[in-house]
Structures are given as structure tokens and as C-alpha cells.
Amino acid sequence: MRTAGLRTAEVIAVGSELLGSTRLDTNSLFLSERLAALGIELRIKSVVGDDRDDLASVFRQALSRADLVILTGGLGPTDDDLTREVVADVLGLPLDEDPSILDGIKRRFERRGLTMPPVNRRQAMVPRGATVLPNPNGTAPGLWLEHDGRVVVLLPGPPREMQPMVEALCAGPLRERAGEERLYRATLFVTARAESDVEQHVQPVYSRWRDAAPPIVTTILASPGQIELHLTTRDRDGAAAEGRLRDAVAQLTSILGEDVYSTDGRMLEEVLGDLLKARGLTIAAAESCTGGLFTSRLTDVPGSSAYVHSAVVAYDNAAKIALLDVPPASIDEHGAVSEPVALAMAEGIRARTGADVAVGITGIAGPGGGTPSKPVGTVVVAVIVPDRPAYVRTFQLLGGRAQVKWNAAQTALDRVRRLLDA
């Protein structure tokens, strides 16, 4: 038995359906984050179909490399569900039926007025010496095994079942077995800059932290409409780690200025919502190319009914005239995608709703509709906030239809944020 704490982990997701093209393995992402918080580094993830030999091979190899091996999925009652048997086989352990698990499964069925089908009996089989991990949301319990100083954990695949079980492990046995060092993280969300531009400005600063003792590791990730800076550091002393990250975040923020919209994990729509709430303002939008996405994102935030008044999606020129009082002459003269029309849309929605903040968005999402002077990706954003001149600007956004729509909404959310924050 090793005495040092668990430092490295591998995750094996079991299930042929996870290899198909329609499923993303969100369990591994969840696990990597929870393990990192305990200072346990996820080094390798594998996805294996429901094949006995493949699973045995991958499990055996993971066991040879990592302190902790977590297998998710394959604990169901059918012939396809091989995880229990393969793990017992590789570890050379017999499987015993656990009467209390069998009892629990039977009761679960009885509560719904059903008799347990005989196949479910398989779910009560336990490799000898394993600790049973209760599953409050399903029939398949988890299992915890120790083998030559390694820890092996079996968990059910459905996120609804697996996630609370991981939370319980991380609060209990995994925390006890982790090292004394923990991983600490900070994140900066940045808009309106290219990845290379962010990199060029911050690289000279963060590259020094990498070689410091203790180091801070910085990674830059481009995600739709924003750049994320992820900072991580390890320490036994939580206060020291947090102080170090706070200083680092402050340095990066002073370099990137108001392009940093969040250093506490809040998304752009939440940051904007909080600004509106703090100032007691309501908002209304007149959307064309975003087709309702701007307002849909605003209303993704719980409690947004306190400040979201309404929106008009005027996809059609007739709708811009009828629902937003955009002057037809303005559309004729400047085109529907133009600064005068975006402003008229914002003014129209404000006049009709009496909202404090009004937004107008018009543009060409593509793939059709572009012209040499207004190519696909041309988007105009107008914003009216109290006590300031109206704002309007034309942007050239990149990407296909979905990306232009998303970035147009992102740009509009960001512009309102900057005007309210100034």
C-alpha cells in the first residue's frame, strides 16, 4: 500500500454509444475539474466501446500508470454492461452477490409497483473487498477498490447519477487520499480581441510566472466570441495560492483593460444583468440578424425577468417598419444593414416600450445576402443608454451563419456592458 497521496488519475468512459458521432463525453470534463480541485491531475482519458478485450486492455494499462483509475458506465443490467466483470477479472477478484444491494434494487422496483426483472440481479454483483458507493439516483451503485496502492472507482455513466456520487467522493474518501497540495484556479474572460493579440500582450508577463517557485501556469483558449485565460497554481497553503492568483489576475487586467469582462467565472450575459440590476435599469432589444439570440441569452440568466422588458425580432423590412417605426426612407436610402437603421431600431423599441436601455442589431448572417460593400458578417450595433449620446458602430465578424449570429449577440452584449460600466 502506498502512503503518498493520489497525484495522477486516468478516466475510462465505457460505452459504444460514446464512440458515435452524436455524443460528447461531458463526464470526463466534470471529473477533470473536480479532481484538479483536489490536486489530482487527470493525465489520460479513454473512451472504450462495450468490448471485453478492449476494456481489459485499456484498464490494465491505466492501472500500470495512474494512482487513481475511474471507470464510468457499463454498470447497467444488460449483457452489454461489462465494467464490473472486466475489472474483477483484471484484478483477479471473484464477484459476490451483495444482499443489501439486491434488496435496494428490489425495493426501488417495488416502490413503482414493479417486480425486479431477473437481469437486474447482475447489478448486485461486487468484486470481493470492494466498498459500495450509494447511488441515490439510480439502481447501479458505484464501487471503490484498492489494489497494490492504486485506487479504482467504478461509477454509473448517466451524469445525473454520476455527478452527485463524485461530489460525495471528493468531499470524503478522495479528499482523504489526495495529497496536501491543492490546485487553485483563476479565469479571465476577454472580449473584442483576437487570440494572437491577447497572447502577444500577456505572454511576456505570464511566461515569468511559469518559472517562478511556486509556478503559475497560464493557458489561453479561444472560445466563440471570447478569449479565456486560465491560471492554475498548486499549494499546500490555500491563502498563499489565492493571494498569488489575485496578484496575477490584477496584472493581466491592468494590461488588457476593459476588454476583461469577468474574473469570477460569470458569463457576459450575467455580468450585463448584474450591471442592469445594480442600476435599476430595464432593457429592450430590436433584433434582426440575431433572430432573438441576444434576448434569449439575456434571459438564460435566472432572475432576468427583473430587467429584461421585451424585444422585437424584425427579420423582415416590413416588420422593421410596422413594429419598430423604422422610416421606410431610411431603409431605401441606406439599406436595412446600416447605422441609421440600427439606430432607428433602437429608438423604435425604446419609444414603444419605455425601457431604459435599448439595443438595435442588424446585419448579414449569411450564407446568402452579402454584397461587395456589405459582405456576410457585416453587423451594425446601436445602443441607447440613459444620459449618454447614442452609440452605433459597424463590425466585420468572421465565420459561418451560426458564428456570425453568436458573435453579433456577443458584440451587442459587450457594447451595452461597456457603456453601462463606463
Candidates 15-23, 69-77, 117-125, 237-245: pick the segment binding a copy of itself (CB under 8 A): 15-23
Q: Give the interface size with a copy of itself as a residue count (CB under 8 A).
A: 76
Among 134, 208, 212, 315, binds a copy of itself (CB under 8 A): 315
Q: Which of residues 40-99 bind a copy of itself (CB under 8 A)?
A: 42-49, 51, 54, 57-58, 61, 65
Q: Which is nearer to a copy of itself, 130 or 324 (CB)?
A: 324
User: Locate cell 440481479: which residue?
Assistant: 121
Query: In angstroms, what is the minimal distance from the CB of 151 to a copy of itself?
Result: 19
At position 416, the amino acid (one-letter code) is V
**Cα 235 from Cα 185, distance rounded (Å):** 11
Q: What is the DSSP string of 248-292?
A: HHHHHHHHHGGGEEESSS--HHHHHHHHHHHHT--EEEEESTTTT
Q: Within 9-126, where are the H helices?
A: 26-37, 52-65, 83-91, 99-111
Q: Which is nearer to a copy of itself, 130 or 384 (CB)?
A: 384
Query: In angstroms, what is the minimal distance from the CB of 314 to a copy of itself?
Result: 5
- Round to the nearest angstrom and report the end-to-end CA distance of the chain: 59
Among 1, 24, 239, 329, binds a copy of itself (CB under 8 A): 24
Residue 325 φ/ψ region, left for φ over 0, alpha for ψ in the -120 to 50 degree band, beta for the rest: left
Among 291, 325, 334, 339, binds a copy of itself (CB under 8 A): 291
Query: In angstroms, what is the minimal distance from the CB of 323 to a copy of itself?
Result: 6
- Judged on CB neighbours under 10 Å (0-12, 13-18, 19+), 111 is exposed
Query: In angstroms, what is the minimal distance from the CB of 70 to a copy of itself?
Result: 13
CB neighbour list of residue 146: distance below 8 Å, 6 or more residues apart? 1, 129, 152
Q: Which is nearer to a copy of itself, 17 or 237 (CB)?
A: 17
Q: Which of residues 347-406 bind a copy of itself (CB under 8 A)?
A: 352-353, 365-369, 401-402, 405
**Cα 419 from Cα 168, distance rounded (Å):** 44
Q: Which is nearer to a copy of itself, 230 or 393 (CB)?
A: 230
Helix (H, G, I), strand (E, B) or coil at 110: helix
Q: Which is nearer to a copy of itself, 137 or 310 (CB)?
A: 310
Per CB under 8 A, 166 contacts a copy of itself: no
Largest Cα span, the chain: 83
Per CB under 8 A, 194 contacts a copy of itself: no
Query: In angstroms, what is the minimal distance from the CB of 228 to a copy of itself?
Result: 7
Q: Which of residues 205-264 bind a copy of itself (CB under 8 A)?
A: 219, 221, 223, 228, 230
At position 79, the amino acid (one-letter code) is D
Per CB under 8 A, 16 contacts a copy of itself: yes
Q: Which of residues 134-153 bind a copy of itself (CB under 8 A)?
A: none
Query: In angstroms, what is the minimal distance from the CB of 173 to a copy of itself?
Result: 22
Q: Which is nearer to a copy of itself, 219 or 371 (CB)?
A: 219
Alpha carbon 142 to chain centroid distance? 25
User: Locate cell 419609444: which residue?
Assistant: 351
Helix (H, G, I), strand (E, B) or coil at 71: strand
**Cα 418 from Cα 286, distance rounded (Å):** 19
Query: In angstroms, what is the minimal distance from the CB of 150 to a copy of itself?
Result: 16
Among 5, 30, 90, 275, binds a copy of itself (CB under 8 A): 30
Cβ pair 5, 179 in contact under 8 A = yes
